[in-house]
Structure 1
Amino acid sequence: MVTKKIVEDNNNGLPAERDVTGPRSLTRLLGLFDVLSMSPDGMSLAELNVTLESPKSSLLNLLRPLVAEGYLIHSAGQYRLGPSIFRLAASVMSAWNFPRMIRPFMEELCQRTGETVLLGVLNRDAEVLTYVEIIDSPHPVRYQIPVGTTRPLYASSAGRLLLAYTEKRWRDAYLSSVQFKVRTAIPVTRASLSRELDRIRAEGVSTSVDNYMVGLAAVAAPVFDGDGNCVASLNIAGPSDRFRNELDQLKAVVKEVAAKASGVVAGIEARAA
């Protein structure tokens, strides 16, 4: 929360608030993103007014341009984080060393499979998968999306993989509250999703053929840190026709390369400890 103190307003002699940690608009903006990142269901103007201790008029002047630019979404009286802020977050994350560390393994996957390779991480607050690094397939017909793209966890093979490897308490809470708002080619239910998560943990790989959309297939495997926590998904995606006949082979390759990436991550953590 922003630290404040009371000072005297030279114009009217009344006490006025002044932020001592930086310009008021900047600290208010950062505070706004902070509280919304912890509120996946969004917050109303009144709730933001109380939480940020900021006048509603000032908040509205801040909120309107953020909604217009896609940094926030305003729906049913609630403000939520929008796609632009996730793209910005992904751009920041792309400068992080982790994607650079994994990129050689992504290049290997692209060379061995010929498909688009994606590195995804879990955003718990928003309950989405965010792609933080992508290498496009050399094929003229390929799967292509920009870095920073997000997907609901239940909707993609990589998202389901990350969900499968979260701790049980968080996973159970997600399963009990998730709303399937994004329409997929094969409808998802709580029961079908729970069964799929069990299968992923048993096989160590997540697959999708025509699940998210007809014509698209994907295979994802986990990247673990030295403590055995899943820190990312490494997956390939492309046209279903190229995946169907080679699915078992593609699963083996993705699992193999993801395991090698996990070994490097664990090794670097061990040396740094």
Structure 2
Amino acid sequence: MLPSIALPNSISPSRRGETAPMAPARVLRVLRLLADQPDGLTLAQLVAQIGVPKTSLYSLLHGLTAEGFVQRHESLYRPGPESFVLGAALVAARSLAIVATPFLLDARAQSGETVLLAVIDRSAGRLTYTQILESHKPVRYMVPVGTTRPLFATAAGRVLLAFQDEPWRREYLSSASLRALTDKTVTNRRQLERIIAGIQATGHASTIGEVTPDVAGFAAPIFEPNSQVNAAIVVGAPLERGKAAAERLTRVAIDCAEQLSQALGYRAQQTQFHTPTNGKA
């Protein structure tokens, strides 16, 4: 059970008259800016970044400071102890499945296809589909929750491989049993290395009939705040429908994974990847 937390717009009656109304979006913007700059920001710097009147922002900061969400030292504002309490509570409550659900729903609506959450099992060298939202179309990709797949053969598995530590990935590629699942499965180790290098550059992967003959898969990595990748988003579709919409389905997978990564607290320093523009995933 989460601790009871007084949010910053719950100003006590004795102090309510001292502060201007605090719009939730503005409060969150202030807290995020301060979280990104632990050394602190001045009032002038905050005004420049948020673009609000100085007097309004000063009143907002006064209320946040009174509640302990912000602390002030000389001219610098920093996150206060209540911000860390709130952050710890949110982290404790955070479950990938819970956080992912609205993004998976949106990805299914955008793609019209089945969307899956795949999680890596490093000890087994496999992935597990832990969450699946099936397409509403009569003909659709279907697989039970809990299904496992080898990393080397699947779109999600290759994405997961691409963003693991290099020594682990090298060991996996040198020792894994590369048994073909269909006549299109890539089992040549050098070819797999080239495919994974491409995924590292583009940030997405696709398989066309390599795991199941009549299925196409499109995947992108989910980054955690420390940049580690333990899960991936997959859009799965019947083969011909997937081939015809490869670029669009790849874009849906990338967007879903990026948005979910941000929701988990990941902050990319810059655009890392090249996205498909030629109709190929």
Distance of 2:218 and 2:192 partners within structure 1: 17
CA contact (8 A) 1:164 1:201 kept: yes
Structure with larger Rg: 2
- Percent identical across equivalent pairs? 35
Distance of 2:235 and 2:136 partners within structure 1: 13
SS in 1 for 2:253: helix
Distance of 1:97 and 1:261 partners within structure 2: 12
Match of 1:231 in 2: 230
Gaps of 5+ in 1: 1-95, 269-273
Match of 1:139 in 2: 137
Distance of 2:174 and 2:237 partners within structure 1: 32
Please tell me whether residue 200 in structure 1 is matched to residue 199 in structure 2. yes
Distance of 1:208 and 1:177 partners within structure 2: 22
CA contact (8 A) 1:161 1:205 kept: yes
Please give the per-residue CA displacement for 1:49-69, whole angstroms capped at 9, x wherever unaligned: xxxxxxxxxxxxxxxxxxxxx
Please tell me whether residue 109 in structure 1 is matched to residue 112 in structure 2. no
CA drift at 1:183: 2.6
AA partner of residue 167 (structure 1):
D
Please give the per-residue CA displacement for 1:244-269, whole angstroms capped at 9, x wherever unaligned: 2221122112111210100000169x
Match of 1:216 in 2: 215
Please give the per-residue CA displacement for 1:144-169, whole angstroms capped at 9, x wherever unaligned: 11110000111211111101110101
Match of 1:152 in 2: 150
Residue of 169, 172, 188 corresponding to 1:171: 169
Distance of 1:239 and 1:183 partners within structure 2: 17
Distance of 2:126 and 2:116 partners within structure 1: 15
TM-score, normalisation: structure 2 = 0.59
Distance of 2:215 and 2:243 partners within structure 1: 11
Distance of 2:212 and 2:144 partners within structure 1: 18
AA partner of residue 248 (structure 2):
Q
CA contact (8 A) 2:159 2:219 kept: yes
RMSD, aligned α-carbons: 1.8
AA partner of residue 164 (structure 2):
T
Residue of 183, 186, 191 corresponding to 1:185: 183
Q: Which runs of 4+ in 1 moved over 2 A?
A: 181-185
CA contact (8 A) 1:155 1:184 kept: no
Match of 2:56 in 1: none
Match of 2:241 in 1: 242
CA contact (8 A) 1:121 1:231 kept: yes
AA partner of residue 196 (structure 1):
I
CA contact (8 A) 2:182 2:213 kept: no
CA drift at 1:213: 2.6
Distance of 2:168 and 2:260 partners within structure 1: 25
CA contact (8 A) 2:227 2:266 kept: no
CA drift at 1:104: 0.7
SS in 2 for 1:184: coil
SS in 2 for 1:163: helix
AA partner of residue 250 (structure 1):
L
Distance of 2:208 and 2:181 partners within structure 1: 16
